[in-house]
Structure 1
Amino acid sequence: MTYPALLDRPAFSPAASPIRPMRAIMLGCGVVGGGVIERLPDGIELVGILTRTPRPEGVSGFPVFTDPDAVFALKPELVIEALPGGAAAEALVERAVREGCHVVTANKDVAARRPDLVKETQDAGRTFACSSAVGGGAPVLETVARLRDSGVKVGRVRGVLNGTSNFVLDRLASGRGLDASVAEAQDAGFAEADPSADLDGLDAANKLALIAREAWGVDLDPASIPTASIRDLPAHVLDAARLDGRRIRQVGCLSRSVSGVRAEVRLEALPLTDPLSRARAEGNVVVLLPERGAEVIVAGKGAGRLPTAGSLIGDLNRLLKAKR
């Protein structure tokens, strides 16, 4: 005998408890921060934004503060850091860690130089995410982590890691002067007011340190990584590369051997067949060479509002997924 009424009835399940949104504050609301706010994932309740200048009208309906004590008094679980960098930004990231917050940041300088903050966050059962600090729209750290977790051992890394320097090198190769090339990068929103970290290879060195940590659990001091500056690049070298069918690129190199990890940022004249030559304008290209198997190439836009904001949002979505 069958009982249609009972068979058609859905199985009983208790009502799922609604997931409480994660209370968050944002530090900084410039080009990148504004991009994050426009696409803020569901599951995050933005309760305050810290800026340097007052905005009585708020930003997109969110309250704005100029006093760090006031914004941290909101008791956030999550701090989204989108400041230009510098000592003040580092102090605020440190405060977020000390107060037991999850941290999602694009600050590659702090993330690279302060492994203690990353460790302290993780030891407290929190997340310190900085995918946007390397590669912008190119998922470099995410790809390195996936390879590592699947048992693939990366032996070497070569990459065009700084979109601003690549943009400038393309402009120099077309005959523009350095000052004009940098000004164009600034107008496009790729370069900071002070482009030294990009031109001198310091930004790329920070990114190499982050890749080494993700791939091998090794903490490198970015300040100890040898670098070469675009400002020291003679015009005749650019001309010779062009006549020889090559492109000058700022290349970050990492390798691991029994003697340890070596890192360097150098300027190379690459043949057009080299994957790194494909990085044009603000693009990034990174080649991961496993100890066994085929190379893995990761590419994407490395500078600008959308790539960086998109990477921050990716970290936020991964954090939310992990908490469900």
Structure 2
Amino acid sequence: MLALTAVASLAVGSKSIDPATVLAALTSYDDENALHLMVRELRVPRTVYAILIGAALAVCGALIQAFTRNPLADPGILGVNAGASFAVTFAVGVLGFSEPGAYVPFALAGAFVLTVLVYALGSFGPTGATPMKLTLSGVALGAAFTGFTTAIVLQNNSTLQIMRFWGVGSVAGRELEQLAWAAPLIFAGLLLGLLSARSLNALALGDDLAQALGARIRVTRICVIIAVTLLAGTAVAAVGPIGFVGIMIPHAVRWFTGPDQRWVIAYSLVVGAIFLLLADILGRVVLPNGELRVGIVTGLLGAPVLIALVRRRQVSGL
């Protein structure tokens, strides 16, 4: 299904291209052919980005939901998105950076710093870092840094214009050269998440029982925090904040895998990529002229799903 969706992403858009032409553009590229140019220069990069970012956000959501034992958690709950957005806004509004590649390091640094602050604040007290304290710390710091971001944006009109487009979230207009830094970070985060799955199963039973079963709680939490920072931070840095993927996909996956995190994380990786590809395709064809950015489409699709999750008598088990 992922392969079919990727092919559809290359063929479907404001200008439909038949599969034979898509294959020819990939295997025998003709730079004088406008359709080949459209496939190679426009649709291949956004397809690759949709696959990577969709997988990253879905796995990130699965990790956070298992880590905090909160079935309605998403990548923003530990402050990652807020930290990355604040750092990018600071780089654009205060330091004067305008090219996307220039503020990527700031986004990653902001995501990492705020995640560490959340973990440090949530670790105070005799009970250490509990899911509830981490969740509250993430919400509080995320709200504060969102306020700082808004204050900077409102002070500068040029910053407002740049952040207005970046803040929506889109995989369009991205270059494959940026994958040189994005792909290794996402792969590292995915690997850490997969390696943490077994220990997350033990943590779902409670800290005391998990420790009795031999799970290294502190190591697991540190690994998950690093994985979340890499996945969400890189995704936000690369394409801007895209909502609802991290909260929807793990729930959809748990409907047919059950609560075993090894299967939840593995399937979230694939289903998240499929979902973001479908959302991007829908955004290209839903309007008669122009297209909707994928961040808007995921919001339109995700809001009803979130309402349905809240209204369910028993949310998918963790």
Q: What is the TM-score of this pair, normalised by structure 2?
A: 0.28
Q: Which has the higher contact order (CA 8 A, sep 6+)?
A: 2
More helix by share: 2
Larger Rg belongs to: 1
More strand by share: 1
Q: What is the TM-score of this pair, normalised by structure 1?
A: 0.28
